[in-house]
């Protein structure tokens, strides 16, 4: 069976509200952003941010990845990131919100 494409979701970073990345940019794909009620996969990610920035990816409170190039990067993993309805995906950027350069993250999704 072919995976059903669910399209992209794009967000712009905001001041961290999770308490896990205080003072820095955070991009939070919450269940209301995903708006999906079946298991799904993140199969492609595109990020843009401040020059020299890095970011860490978390699913809920569990670290998934650590990326050293946060200014312009894309990710086509050989092992997709499986997500369940109700889970959140966070991108915790290393740069402070005072740099006035919020990152953008686009995730491409498909039903698993």
pLDDT in tens, the chain (112 residues): 578 999 999 999 999 999 999 999 999 999 999 999 999 999 999 999 999 999 999 999 999 988 888 778 887 767 889 999 999 999 999 999 999 999 999 999 999 7
Per-residue pLDDT at 72: 82
The domain ranges of the chain are 4-111
CATH code, residues 4-111: 2.60.120
Per-residue pLDDT at 1: 52
Distance between CA atoms of residues 98 and 41, nearest Å: 33
**DSSP output for 45-104:** EEEE-STT--EEEEETTEEEEEES--SEEEE--SS-EEE-TT--EEEEEEEEGGG----E
Hey, what's the torsion of the CAs at 98, 101, 102, 103, to 10 degrees? Answer: -130
């Amino acid at each position: 069976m072919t995976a059903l494409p669910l399209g992209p979701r794009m967000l712009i970073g905001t001041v961290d509200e999770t308490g896990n990345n205080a003072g820095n940019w955070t991009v939070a794909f919450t269940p209301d952003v995903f708006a999906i009620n079946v298991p799904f996969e993140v199969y492609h990610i595109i990020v843009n941010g401040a020059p020299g920035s890095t970011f860490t990816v978390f699913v809920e409170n569990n670290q998934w990845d650590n990326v050293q190039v946060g200014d312009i990067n894309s990710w086509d993993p050989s092992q997709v990131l499986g997500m369940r309805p109700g889970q959140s995906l966070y991108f915790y950027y290393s740069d402070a919100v005072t740099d006035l350069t919020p990152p953008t993250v686009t995730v491409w999704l498909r039903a698993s």
